[in-house]
Structure 1
Amino acid sequence: MPLEQKDQMNLLKDILTNHSTDCCGSVSECEQLERLVKSLMVNSELDHNVKNVLEQIYSYSQHGTNTNELDQHIESHQEQLGQWVSEIDQFS
């Protein structure tokens, strides 16, 4: 059963919040972020500002998937992680 947009946004926020709080994560979480963003981006009714944030999250998750130093990658994006969660909250 596919997740609704609200559920996808909540899952996206949960993963980003966990990365921010724990300063660590897994490649599978980054892959999940990529899948969520791809799924959300196909929605033509999605606010333009949210699409910009989703593109940034997608880039973050791609780099996270391909890095050998995932925890360091997450730590270097602490400020953005919190900002992305706040911005998603505004539009969801």
Structure 2
Amino acid sequence: MPINHEHQLTLLADILSNQQTDCCGSVAECEQIERLITSLRTNDQIDQNILPILEEIHRYSEQGVNASDLDNHIHSYQDQLSQWVDGINNFS
């Protein structure tokens, strides 16, 4: 049974929050972020105002997958990670 969009947003916020707190993450997490966002983009039940945030997060995760130093990549996005989590929480 697939998880609904509210649970997907919660999971996305949790992953981003953990990366922000720990200043580290894994390629698998970045790939999971991409899968979540791909699913959310096609869901007509989500607030369309969250789409720009999802686009930014998707770019971040794509860059993370290809980063030579993922922890440094995550560290360089500390401010945005916090803003994205706040934004997701406002829409979920």
Q: TM-score, normalised by structure 2?
A: 0.96
Match of 1:43 in 2: 43
CA distance in 1, matches of 2:4, 2:48: 19
Q: What does residue range 13-92 of structure 1 map to in structure 2 within 5 Å?
A: 13-92=13-92
The one-letter amino acid paired with 1:12 is: L
- Residue range with higher mean Cα deviation, 44-53 or 20-29: 44-53
CA distance in 1, matches of 2:12, 2:48: 17
Please list the CA deviations of residues 25-78 of structure 1 after superposition, one character each: whole Å capped at 9, or x if unmatched: 000000000000000000123223200000000000000001111000000000
The one-letter amino acid paired with 1:90 is: N
Uncovered stretches (5+) of structure 1, i.e. residues with no partner: none
Deviation, structure 1 residue 2: 0.6
Equivalent residue pairs, number: 92
Q: Percent identity?
A: 53
Uncovered stretches (5+) of structure 2, i.e. residues with no partner: none
**Relative contact order, higher structure (CA 8 A, sep 6+):** 2
- Residue range with higher mean Cα deviation, 43-52 or 1-10: 43-52
